[in-house]
Amino acid sequence: MYIKEKFEITKTEEEWRKILTTEQYRVMREHGTERACTSPQGKQYTEGTYVCAVCGQTLFTSATKFNSATGWQTFFPAN
């Protein structure tokens, strides 16, 4: 059974469209993805922490990023 969770950050779709770029909205709200090998982030290995563009929650650290040769950024989950 699918249970829709209530999240701390609740906005209307119109509010999401105002704060996210078109691409961010497509990926984060419509479950989209980018074509493999098209993101400049694929070659980004600057030290730091990757955070959610919406809520700021930590997703991964640069120490967990590796080249999987898939065309998408790949990480080990941060523990």
**What does the pLDDT look like over 20-79, one tens digit per residue?**
999 889 988 898 887 888 877 777 778 999 888 888 888 888 888 877 777 777 777 545
DSSP string covering 35-50, please? PTT--GGGG---SSEE
Q: Which of 76, 78, 79, 71 is nearest to 38 (CA)?
A: 71
pTM over 0.85: no
Give me the domains of the chain, ranges plus CATH numbers. 13-35+44-75 (2.170.150.20)
Going by the DSSP 8-state scheme, the letter that residue 22 receives in this structure is H
